[in-house]
Amino acid sequence: MTLAARAHAHLSEAALHGNLTHLSRRAATPLLLPVKANAYGHGLREIVTLAARHPDVWGFAVATPREAAQVAALHTGRPTLLLTPPTPAEVPVLADLGVRLPVASLAEADALPAHARAHLKVDTGMNRLGARPEEAIRVGARLAERGLLEGAYTHFATADEPDLSFAHEQLRRFRTVLDALPATPQPLLAHAANGGGILSFGALPGMRLARPGLTSYGFAPPHLRAALPLRPVMTLTAQVTHLHTAHAGETVSYGGLWRAPRDTQVATVGIGYADGYPRNATGRAHVLIAGERRPVLGRICMDQLMVDVTGLNVQRGDPVTLWQQEDLTVTDVASWGDTIEYEVLTGLGERVERVVGSG
């Protein structure tokens, strides 16, 4: 007997492929698709499998060596770039898997095996990882001398903000490095644009890849949403597990935060903050059930939440939509939880089953 999950993340292949097409056309480059953090909560295996079918996806970007190994094990035939530094012991293992490695120092460049492929990481102002431009030029020259330099990249700190002045400065610094690097047998795979960069700048001359993260999954800052018709890839649903009546004057959930003003029909739903639904959305959250938008009652629990279903025809096992592509979105849930879409999506737990659909 197969035991069913109580909550499901429904993934739209059409939405993902549409987003990737729009982003690749606007950037005028193939895409290096970030699938870190379990593909932004959507499911690494599911998203990599779907995206590998898209002609504009050059490869995948991850944040940890374990993620890199997981993508490599899927045998998509597409390259994988590790964005953060591996330990010395991990370098030969990853190189043997064909993972492209980030390099930001001469020591790292000298330690690479002869069969490795490297992407020079340039810090143009993010001040998080990478070599500053002057050092990056020296490191890039060493990598080129060893025949290991495949790409070079930087990361915009403010490309999704209305003021693009610092993003322009970062781009200028990056181009200074690129212009100083020696020629490579194959054109250097330079990449800088994240999703905000693609929406703000469009095509960037000289860049051969782009790395759209959250935009690939259908989300953009409010001032950039008109740039492309992106669609959220995920719809999240859970099941009604219990129905009961809370009588007038009774409270619901921890702390007694909500008191019934009248006899209220309550549906308990099998999802909670352990699954990634934000506890901070307590008192503001709504869901869709039986075709209506209804409030979540009282404190959101670890494994469950309660909904007012008075007057609705609801049965145990009925689906409840926590978010969808429009009308009730991840953006709404993030707002109720005083957070951002990234945190809500990447917090989606393993108890939520990922299900791929074509629509």
SS3 sequence of 24-92: HHHHCCCEEEECHHHHHCCCHHHHHHHHCCCCCEEEEEECCHHHHHHHHCCCCCCCEEECCCCCCCHHH
Is the pLDDT at 65 greater than 90? The verdict is yes
Average pLDDT value for the chain:
97
Q: Which of 36, 121, 217, 277 is catalytic?
A: 36
**pLDDT given at position 189:** 98
Alpha carbon distance 130, 119 (integer Å) = 11
Is the pLDDT at 118 greater than 90? The verdict is yes
Q: For Cα atoms 146, 149, 199, give the angle at the middle one, nearest 5 degrees.
A: 170
Query: Residue 349: pLDDT band by 50, 70, 90 thresholds?
Result: very high
Q: Which of 40, 153, 217, 254 is catalytic?
A: 254
Is the pLDDT at 109 greater than 90? The verdict is yes
pLDDT in tens, 182-216: 999 999 999 999 999 999 999 999 999 999 999 99
Contacts of 269 (CB under 8 A, 6+ apart): 238, 239, 240, 241, 287, 304, 305, 306, 307, 320
Is the pLDDT at 359 greater than 80? The verdict is no
Question: Considering only CA atoms, which of 220, 235, 160 is closest in space to residue 22?
Answer: 220
Is the pLDDT at 2 greater than 90? The verdict is no
Is the pLDDT at 180 greater than 80? The verdict is yes
Alpha carbon distance 134, 122 (integer Å) = 10
Alpha carbon distance 193, 196 (integer Å) = 7
Query: Residue 305: pLDDT band by 50, 70, 90 thresholds?
Result: very high
Is the pLDDT at 63 greater than 90? The verdict is yes
Average pLDDT over residues 286-295: 97
Is the pLDDT at 358 greater than 90? The verdict is no
Average pLDDT over residues 351-359: 92
Give the residue carrying structure tokens 């690479």: 112
pLDDT in tens, 147-170: 999 999 999 999 999 999 999 999
Is the pLDDT at 15 greater than 90? The verdict is yes
Alpha carbon distance 164, 170 (integer Å) = 10
**pLDDT given at position 1:** 79
Q: Is 121 a catalytic residue?
A: no
Query: Residue 38: pLDDT band by 50, 70, 90 thresholds?
Result: very high
Give the residue carrying structure tokens 């007012």: 308
Q: What is the pTM of this model?
A: 0.95
Question: Considering only CA atoms, which of 358, 356, 259, 335 is closest in space to residue 9?
Answer: 356
3-state secondary structure of 111: helix
Neighbours of 94 (CB within 10 A): 20
**pLDDT given at position 287:** 98
Alpha carbon distance 209, 202 (integer Å) = 12
**Token duo for residue 171:** 């781009």
Q: Is 342 a catalytic residue?
A: no
